[in-house]
Structure 1
Amino acid sequence: MTNHVFQHGNVGGIRIHVLPTKTFKTFAISLYAGVPLAEDTVTPTALIPFVLRRGTASYPETTQFRERLEELYGAGFGFDVYKRGDYQIIQFRMDTINDSFVQSKESLLAESFAFLGEVLTRPLLEGGSFRPSYVNTERETVRKKLESIVNDKIRYAAERCIEEMCREEPYRLHPLGQRADLESITPDSLHQSYRAWLDGAILDLYVVGDTSPEEVQKLVERHFGLDSRSASPYQSNFSPKKVTEVRTVEERMDVGQGKLNMGLRTSITYGDDAYAHALMYNGILGGYPHSKLFVNVREKESLAYYASSRYDGHKGIATIQSGIEIQNYNKALDIIRKQLDEMKQGNISDLELNQTKAMIRNLLSEIQDSAFEMIAFDFNRVLSGKERSTEELMSQVEASGAEDVKRAAGTVELDTIYFLTGQKEES
């Protein structure tokens, strides 16, 4: 496993991260734009990339925009909107074939930068604001995406559990915003939001492929032209919240299957030296098919259709998701709490340890096979301020014993129990 190392620099307020390599036949380009999650900006910010992908100054029609990507030998272009800790992040991605594999007059890397730079900084404007038809259509797109969460009860319960647990924190907000705020967004107000976002976002640009930091720097200067920016780094001002009492929230909807979700807090985050132990904790508790939740709640007791856990290392939060028969609520809750106790007592077998290490090892070694995975892994460093290679993380995982996992378990506190249940029986 070759240890690929990103080289870092800064151009006009954009941090650049370049991994020169001949391993891949394409250039992977990723631009992250992060702003703090906030009630009044989350919805317009989420809408911005949807409108930006509709047209630019040179390619005002969406068909022209798409044809331009075809001209770049079918370059891929896409974006994601998500949250990491208390930040809302928009990630633009481009995937372009390496020049040496095609007969092209222009450098495809340069053409891709010209395209991405224009998407970001020269959107199509009409009378000084966004084209109304684009804003209206994309508002509808975002509304449908938010509605689809309500219709997918597994996702809905997961979101609601976080919302209840973090009701006084920005993290409660969904990265796509709030349906109620969409109506009031106009082409003009969205353009103002876009200007503020472009000025204030923390920008990190990644390139993996057969290039050099010097080449990327020149391309950024030429095609992005964002000189007046002062990029402040991500603030990971994490302070673990003390849990004073466990809250139980019950919500009724027309569901046949109950969704029992739990929110847990831990003081261990990505920047922490014990991060590997928290990964092991989550893996043994509910991260994989051999985990305690899966085996005990689902297989042995047949109490759940699914039972698993997730850990967000940027926020110090773990969540448990399970789908159960509504009448089995108390029984399922008891067995899940028993698994949390087993972890705290350090009742962890060698088999559980070894299987979890094997799963994490596979995930970490797969990162090296994908340019975008390598980018995502390095971006964790940017977000947390913690330098840690995949090799280092793997050796910390390998060195973890039952005592380490027990110590990590000692930092985990149950905060919120959320139960999505059926409508009341008519008497």
Structure 2
Amino acid sequence: MTNHVFHHSDAGGIRIHVLPTKTFKTYAVSLYAGIPLAEETVTPTALIPFVLRRGTVSYPETTRFRERLEELYGAGFGFDVYKRGDYQIVQFRMDTINDSFVSTKENLLEQSFAFLGEVLTKPALENGSFRSSYVHTERETVRKKLESIVNDKIRYAAERCMEEMCRNEPYRLNALGQRKDLEGITPDSLYQSYQSWLNSVILDLYVVGDTTPEEVEQLVTRYFGLGSRKDAPYQSCFTPKTVSEVKTIEEVMEVGQGKLNMGLRTSITYGDDSYAHMLMYNGILGGYPHSKLFVNVREKESLAYYASSRYDGHKGIATIQSGIEIPNYAKAVDIIRKQLEDIKDGQISELELIQTKAMIRNLLSEIQDSAFEMISYDFNRQLSGKDRSTEELMQQIEATGAEDVKRAAETVQLDTIYFLTGQKEE
């Protein structure tokens, strides 16, 4: 793995991160806009990028907006809305071919900045607020996305488990907002939300490609025009929580297969020196096909259709997802709890360590093959305040032994058991 280093600077109220490289034939541009997750802002914030993608001052009609991307040699433009820790992040992405590979008089990087800057700061308006047709259509889009979660029972169970576990924390909120708040959003109210969002959001702009930090700074100043903003870093509001008793929630719906989810808390987050140990813990527990949950719950006992675990290093939460036959609930809970205890007791084989290291090594080396993956990895540093290259993380993973994983396991506490079931037991 070669070590790629981003150049970090500030300009025009935006933090700028540039990786000059000739490795890729395109420019990858990514703009992250982060704001603390909050009940009153989560829904309008989620809706904003859907409306922004409909049109700008220069390209007010959606068809014209899309044609402009075609004129830029089929530039890619998209966005995502998600949460990292207790922040709601809107990420805009552009992927534009490097001018030297096409015959054009235009500087395509500059044109991409002109386009993205306008998407962010100069939306199409009518009567001083957002176009009502755009707001109504996109409100419907978001509503359908939220409704689709209820229909996808695996996702629904995962969301509900987090809602119950983090009942008094912002993390309970879905990044796409709440259906009940959509109806009340008007073009006027959304435009006001957008203006206050633009003033308070934390902005990080990434560029990977054949350019220089100086060129990018000039383009940001020219096309984003957010000069008076204060550049504030992300605040880590993490406080380890002690679990006094495990919450058990059972919910009845029309399901043929039970969904058993568990929420776990750990004091280890991305900023910790023992983060690598927690990654290894998650890999051995349920991150991969060789993991304990997969082998013991699914294969040996045939208790689950799927069984895996995930770890959010920005929040210090791990989750277990499994799909089971409804009568197997008690047995499945026992076997899953046994896996948690076994790791705490240090029952970790050499093979589990070797296989987990190999899986993480593959993931880390794949980051180097994708400009957007490199950007995504570096953004972890902005969120956590922790500077750790992929090489350093890999060295820490390689150096992790069973004893380190056992120590990480000792910080893990089961917090919530959530079961989505199809019928009440007689």
Q: Give the CA deviation at 1:273.
A: 0.1
Matches within 5 A, 1:20-419: 20-419=20-419
Match of 1:15 in 2: 15
Q: Give the CA deviation at 1:237.
A: 2.3
Where do 5+ consecutive residues of structure 2 fail to align?
none
Q: Match of 1:386, SS?
A: coil
Q: How far, CA to CA, are the matches of 2:255 and 2:410 in structure 1?
A: 35
Q: Give the CA deviation at 1:423.
A: 3.0
Q: How far, CA to CA, are the matches of 2:367 and 2:176 in structure 1?
A: 27
Q: How far, CA to CA, are the matches of 1:33 and 1:231 in structure 2?
A: 12
Q: Give the CA deviation at 1:424.
A: 3.0
Q: How far, CA to CA, are the matches of 1:187 and 1:346 in structure 2?
A: 57
Q: Match of 2:94, SS?
A: strand
Letter of the 1:424 counterpart:
K
Q: How far, CA to CA, are the matches of 1:3 and 1:31 in structure 2?
A: 22
Q: Give the CA deviation at 1:344.
A: 0.3
Q: How far, CA to CA, are the matches of 1:48 and 1:95 in structure 2?
A: 21
Q: How far, CA to CA, are the matches of 1:26 and 1:359 in structure 2?
A: 28
Q: Give the CA deviation at 1:228.
A: 1.1
Q: How far, CA to CA, are the matches of 1:4 and 1:47 in structure 2?
A: 35
Q: Give the CA deviation at 1:161.
A: 0.3
Aligned-residue CA RMSD in angstroms?
A: 0.6
Q: How far, CA to CA, are the matches of 1:233 and 1:39 in structure 2?
A: 22
TM-score, normalised to structure 2, is 0.99
Question: What do the CA deviations read for 1:209-264 (whole angstroms, capped 9, x no partner)?
Answer: 00000000000010000011002100012111111100000000010100000000
Where do 5+ consecutive residues of structure 1 fail to align?
none
Q: How far, CA to CA, are the matches of 2:86 and 2:116 in structure 1?
A: 26
Q: How far, CA to CA, are the matches of 1:325 and 1:210 in structure 2?
A: 54
Letter of the 1:10 counterpart:
D
Greater shift after overlay, 416-425 or 113-122? Answer: 416-425
Q: Match of 1:415, SS?
A: strand
Letter of the 1:394 counterpart:
M
Question: What do the CA deviations read for 1:107-156 (whole angstroms, capped 9, x no partner)?
Answer: 00000000000000000010000000000000000000000000000000
Q: How far, CA to CA, are the matches of 1:21 and 1:99 in structure 2?
A: 14
